[in-house]
Structure 1
Amino acid sequence: MSAFTAAEPAAAASHNISLYRAIWRWHFFAGLLVIPFMLNLAITGSLYLFKDQIADTFYAHRNIVADAGSMLTPQQIVDAAVAAIPGSKPASYREAPSRNRSAVVAVSKNGQSTIVYVNPHSGGVLGSVGSKQEFSWVVKRIHSLQYFGDWTNRIVEIVGGFALMLVVTGIYLWWPRQQTGGVLSVRGTPSRRVFWRDLHAVTGAVAGIVIFFLAFSGMPWSGYWGANVNAWLTAHDLGTPAALWDNVPKSTKVTQDIVGRPGWVVENAPVPLSDIAAAQAAKPIDLNKAVEIMHGLGMAPGSDLAIPANETGVYTASHYGGDLGNERTVHIDQYSGKPLVDLSFDQYPALGQAIEWGINVHQGQEWGLFNQLLMLVTCLAIVLSCVTAIVMWWKRRPAGRLGVPPMPPQKSVYIGLWLIVIAFSAIFPLTGLAVIVMLLFDQIVVRFVPPLRRFFS
C-alpha cells in the first residue's frame, strides 16, 4: 500500500514535467516560426495607429488648407481634380471634414486609380498620389502582407492563430510554481539568461490579454477565416441585415468594390441598382444634389460619396472610422435620389457590432489618443517579447544545434495535445493545419532522423 501511494506523487510529477516540456517545446517551435512576422505586424501596426498624425505631419501640404471663407461646390471640386489628370473619370468624392482640410477626389484612368487633393476654397490641386502608393494603404497592406499577394496574407492568418496559442501557452509556462522571481519581477542582469527569460515572461504576462485581443480582433481581416466568418454571419442574419435588400434590385458588385473604406460587416454586402426604367424618362441627379441628399440624411462630416460608374450604378455615401455611432452606408438611386439601402452601426446584430467594435479598438479609433497609446504599448510589448525570445534562445543554444527544448519523458502527453489541436483546427483551419504539420514534423521526421534529432536537440 505504501509503495502504491509513493508511486502516485512520482507519476503525477512525471506527468507534469512531460506536459510542461511538451508545451514549452510547442511554444518554442511556434515562436521560432512567427517572430519575423510578429515584428512586422507590431512595427507596421504602430505606424498605422498614427496614420492621421503622420499624414498631417509629412503631407500637410496636401491635407491642410487655410480657411479662406466660402467653399466651392462638390462638382467644382471634382472638376478641378479631373482637370489635373486629363482623360480621367471621377470615382469618389470625400468632402472636407472641416474648413481647414482638403477635399479628396479619387479618379480613374486606364484602370488606374489616383487620389487628388483639392483646396475646397480655391479649387487648387494640392497634390496627387496613386491609390496604391498612398501611405496608409501601403502600410496596411504590408501589415497584412497582402501587398505581396493573397498567399502571403494567408501566412499572416496562420501567424494570428499562432499568436493566440503563444499567449495561452506562454501564460501556462509563466504560471507561478512555488517560485517568486520571474513572476512580476526580473532577476539578474542583462549578461545572464535568467534576466531575458524573466523579462520575456513578465512582458507576456502583463500584456498577454491585450496581445490576445489584438490577434483575435485582427482575424476578421484574414483572407480565409475572415471571409468565411463574414459569409457565415451574413447567411445567418448575424452580420448585414439581409432584409434591407429584399425590395431592391441587386448588382453583382459588393460594397468594398466601390467604397474605399467600408465597415467590415458591410464590405461584402451587395450594391443595389438604380431604377434603369427611370433612365428613359429622367436625367440623373448631379453630384451637388447627391451631396445635398447625403447631408439631408444626416451623414457625418467628411463622408465619402462613390459616384455611379454607369447608368445602373448608385451613389454610395459612407462613413467609417472614429466614432462607431457615425458608421453608416447609404446607397442612393442616381435618378430619383431615393435612399435604396440605409445601414448604420446601430442596425447591425449584436455579434456584428461586437466585431466592428473590436476592429475599431484594434485600429486605435475608439477612445482617441488613449486607444492609440494602449495599442502602441501593446505593439512595443510584442517587439520586446520577440527580442527577448531571440536573446534568450541565443544564450541557451548549444554550439552547432538549434537548442529545441527536450521532448517530454511521457510521449502519451501528446494525445491530449492532439485533441487540443483538432479542436483548434475546427475554429482556425489554416493555423490548425500548420500546427498539425509542425507536430508531424516533430514527432516523425525529427524523432526518427538522427541528424535532424541532433540538430534540433
Structure 2
Amino acid sequence: MAVTPDLTTQEQAATPARSPRQPSAFGGLLLRLHFYAGILVAPFLLVAATTGILFAFTPQIEKAVYSTELTVDTPGSPALPMADQVAAARAAHPAGDLVTVRPGEGSATTQVDFSDPSLDADHQHTVYVNPYTGKVTGQLTTWWAATPLNEWLDNLHANLHLGETGALYSELAASWLWVLALGGVILWWRRQRDRNRRMFVPDLAAKKGVRRTRGWHAATGLWITIGLLFLSATGLTWSGHAGENFNDLIDSLDASRPAVSTDLVGAAAPATAGGHHGGTTTGGSSTAAVDPAAITTVLRSARDAGITGAVSITVPADAATAWSVTGNDSLWPVGRDSVAVDSTGTIVQRIDFADWPLLAKLTQWGIYAHMGQLFGLPNQIVLAALALGLICVIIWGYRMWWQRRPTRAGRRALVGVAPAGGNWTGLPNSAIAVGLPVLFAVGWFLPLFGVPLLAFLALDLVLTGLRGRRRPNIPVSPAPARQ
C-alpha cells in the first residue's frame, strides 16, 4: 500500500493559505441586521430603559411627593359612611359632576373625582378625603386617577412629552427589542462550540479587547432575553400602530376585557327613573339627578356581594343608570370582579375575573407587570434589573463597535466597519419562500418593524451589489506540483 509522502517545509510554505471561513447567507444577514439595528435602535432602547426605571418606582416617588394628599398619618376605625366622605369632598369642590369615587383603606385617603368643562375628557379634579375624619387633605388635577407626577413620568417613558410623534420612539424600540434579543441569542449560539454552560458565562480567558467585551455583551443578553421578550410584547399591546392591530385581533377573537352593563332597561329601576341614559324604556326618558347619598348603600351591597379590597365606584349619569363597583387591586389582579348596582342596593349584573377570557387575563397581568405593579416591590426590582442589564448590553455593544475600529497608520477610523457577509438573496429558495411571507405578515402587524426592515433589506441588497462590483478579481497562483 503506497503512502503519500509528507510535504516538505518548502512545499508547505508554497501552498497558499486557506481563506477565512465566510459566513452563510443567513448568518451574514443576521449579523448585519443585528449590527445595524443595534446601532440605530439602541439609543431609543437606552432612553426607554432609563425612563422605565423611573416609572416603575412611581408609587414610592408619589408617596414622597404627595404624602399629604395620598395618605393619613393616624388611620382610625371605623371609617365614616361613604356618603359623608363624598359630601366633604363636594363642600371643598362645589363645581363639576361627581364621576368616580375610590374609597380609602388603611392609610390611604378616599379619592373623589369631579368633572370640569375646562378639562379634556381624560382629566378631572380629584379631592382627597381622610376616610376617618372627613377632612379634605388636598386637591389635584388627575389623569385617569393618576397624579400629575405619575402622568409626567408616564408620558416621559411613552412619548418623551412629544405627543403622538414622540410615541413612535417607544414603539420602534419595542418593535425591534425582540429582534435584537433573539438575533443575539442565535449569533451567540452559532459562535459557541460548547453550546450549553459556556453560553451563559462571559469569556473570562480574554483579558481585554473585543473578545472579552463580546462575552459580557452576549452572556448578559442571554440571561435577560426572556424578560426583554416580555417587555417587548407587553409594550406593543398599548402602542399606537401595533397596539391598534392587537386590539383588533383581540376583538375578532371575542377576548376583550368584559365590563358590566349599567343599562337598567328591563331591570327593576328606582321609582324616580322613567328611562335610562342614552336610550329609551317603557317609562319614557329621564334625566333625574343621582342622589350621591346612595353611594353608602351601593358600596355596602357590593361588599356583601364579595367585592373586597380596593375598589372604584363609577357614578351613573342619571337615576335610570346603575352604579358600577369594580375591584382595582393591581398587586395581584384576580380581584377584578365587578357588579352593577342600582340606587336601592340591588345587584343587577355581575362579572367575575374568573370568567374573563384567557387572553384578557393575560393582557391585564402583562400590563401590570410591565408597569411594575404586579406583586409590588419584587416586580419593581425585576424591572430595574432588566433595565440595568439592557443598559449594560447596549454600552458593551457600542464598545465593541469602537474596539473593532482600524488603528493602523493611514487606516485609522473612529469606529469599526460593518460586518461583511453573503447577500440575503443567497438564501435557499425554500427559506425565501417561507420567510418572506412571514416577515411581511409580522411587518404588517408591527409597522415600525416592517418599514425599517424593508429599508434595510433594500439598502443591503444595493450595498452588497456595489461591493461586488468594486472588489477586484485577484488571481490565485496554483500550488506547485509535488515532485
Question: Which residue number corresponds to residue 159 of structure 1?
Answer: 173
Written as runs of structure 1 = structure 2, the 5 A alignment for 1:238-249 is 238-240=255-257
> Is residue 378 of structure 2 the alignment partner of residue 394 of structure 1?
no
Matches within 5 A, 1:166-177: 166-175=180-189, 177=191
3-state SS of 1:324 partner: coil
In structure 1, what is the Cα distance between the partners aligned to 2:237 and 2:300? 34
Render the CA deviation track for 1:320-368: whole Å, top value 9, x for unaligned.
Answer: 31222201333444x5654454323211122322332333333334444
Shift in Å, 1:201? 0.8
- What SS does the aligned partner of 2:390 have? helix
Amino acid at match of 1:206: W
- What secondary structure sits across from 1:129 in the alignment? strand
1:226 paired residue among 243, 254, 262: 243
Q: Distance in 2 between matches of 1:183 and 1:71?
A: 54
Match of 2:140 among 123, 129, 137: 129
Instruction: Tell which deviates more after alignment, 221-230 or 375-384.
Output: 221-230
* TM norm structure 1: 0.78
Structure 2 residue 125 is matched with structure 1 residue 114: yes
Provide closer, same or farther for how the CA distance between residues 395 and 329 of structure 1 changes in structure 2, counting only shifts above 3 A.
Answer: farther
Match of 1:60 among 62, 67, 70: 67
Q: 1:213 offset after TM fit, Å?
A: 1.5
How many angstroms apart in 2 are the aligned matches of 1:69 and 1:289? 19
Q: Work out the CA distance in 2 between the residues paired with 1:240 and 1:426.
A: 25
* CA distance in structure 2 between the aligned counterparts of 1:83 and 1:58, rounded to whole angstroms: 25
**Matching residue of 1:254:** none
Alignment-derived partner of residue 184 in structure 1: 201
Q: Which residue of 1 aligns with 2:51?
A: 44
- Aligned amino acid, residue 362 of structure 1: H
Q: Residue 115 of structure 2 aligns to a residue in which SS?
A: strand
* Structure 1 Cα separation of the partners of residues 165 and 79 of structure 2: 46
1:89 equivalent in structure 2: 97
CA contact (8 A) 1:34 1:159 kept: yes
1:281–1:367 distance in 2 versus 1, CA, 3 Å: closer
CA contact (8 A) 1:80 1:123 kept: yes
Note closer, same or farther for the CA distance 1:194–1:86 as it changes in structure 2 (3 Å cut). farther
Native 8 Å contact 1:95 1:302 kept in 2: yes
SS at match of 2:323: strand
The secondary structure found in structure 2 opposite 1:71 is coil
Aligned: 1:412 with 2:425:
yes
The letter of the residue matching 2:419 is P
Structure-1 residue corresponding to 2:231? 214
1:58-100 per-position Cα deviation (integer Å, ceiling 9, x unaligned): 33222221123442332332233333345233221110122x2
Retained in 1: the 8 A contact 2:210–2:404? yes
The aligned residue for residue 5 of structure 2 is none
Report sequence identity in percent.
Answer: 25
Kept after mapping to 1: 8 A contact 2:70/2:128: yes
Query: What code does the residue aligned with 1:433 have?
Result: V
Tell me the residue number matched to 1:25: 32
Distance of 2:375 and 2:224 partners within structure 1: 19
Compare CA radii of gyration and give the structure with the larger one: 2
> Alpha-carbon deviation of 1:369?
3.3
Counterpart for residue 288 of structure 1 = 296
Give the match's secondary structure for 1:425: helix
Instruction: State the Cα distance separating 1:282 from its structure 2 match.
Output: 8.0
Are the equivalent residues in 1 in contact too, given 2:234–2:367 (CA < 8 A)?
yes
In 2, Cα distance between equivalents of 1:312 and 1:431: 48
SS in 1 for 2:351: strand
**Counterpart-to-counterpart distance in 2, 1:349 and 1:69:** 39
| Cα distance change, pair 353–134 in 1 and its aligned pair in 2 (3 A) | same
Does residue 323 in structure 1 map to residue 332 in structure 2? yes
Question: Which amino acid in structure 1 is aligned with residue 226 of structure 2?
Answer: I
C-alpha distance in 2 between matches for 1:411 and 1:282: 69
- Structure 2: any 5+ residue segments left out of the alignment? 1-17, 266-275, 407-411, 471-483
Per-residue CA shift, 1:265-293, capped at 9, x if unaligned? xxxxxx98687648759874532233223
Could you say which residue in structure 2 is the equivalent of 1:7?
none
* Partner SS state of residue 209, structure 1: helix
8 A Cα contact 1:94 1:303, kept in partner: yes
| 1:330–1:339 Cα contact (<8 Å) kept | yes
User: Are residues 405 and 248 of structure 1, via their aligned partners in 2, closer, same or farther at CA, if it must alter by over 3 Å?
Assistant: farther
Cα shift readout 1:164-200 (whole Å, capped 9, x = no counterpart): 1011101011115355777512437896333322211
CA distance in structure 2 between the partners assigned to 1:355 and 1:381 by the alignment: 25
What is the CA–CA distance in structure 1 between the aligned matches of 2:360 and 2:19, rounded to whole Å? 48
- Contact 2:69 / 2:109 at 8 angstroms: preserved in 1? yes
Could you tell me which residue of structure 1 aligns to residue 455 of structure 2? 437
- Return the letter of the residue paired with 2:225: G
Structure 2 SS opposite 1:91: strand
- Paired residues of 2:262 and 2:340 also in contact (CA < 8 A): no
The aligned amino acid for 1:390 is: Y
**What TM-score results when the alignment is normalised by the length of structure 2?**
0.74
Rounded to whole Å, the distance in 1 between the matches of 2:140 and 2:212 is 48
Check the 8 A contact 2:325/2:339 in 1, yes or no: yes
Equivalent position amino acid for 1:168 in 2 = L
Tell me which amino acid in the other structure corresponds to 2:38. Answer: G
Contact persistence 2:324–2:339 (CA under 8 A) = yes
What one-letter code is carried by the residue in structure 1 that aligns with 2:454? I
Please, which moves more after superposition, 47-56 or 116-125?
Answer: 47-56
- Is this contact kept in 2: 1:273–1:312, CA < 8 A? no
Corresponding residue of 1:139: 153
RMSD, aligned CA: 3.7
Distance of 1:396 and 1:11 partners within structure 2: 21
Gaps of 5+ in 1: 1-9, 250-270
Correspondence 1:342 to 2:350: yes
> What count of residue pairs does the alignment treat as equivalent?
417
The match for 1:308 is 316
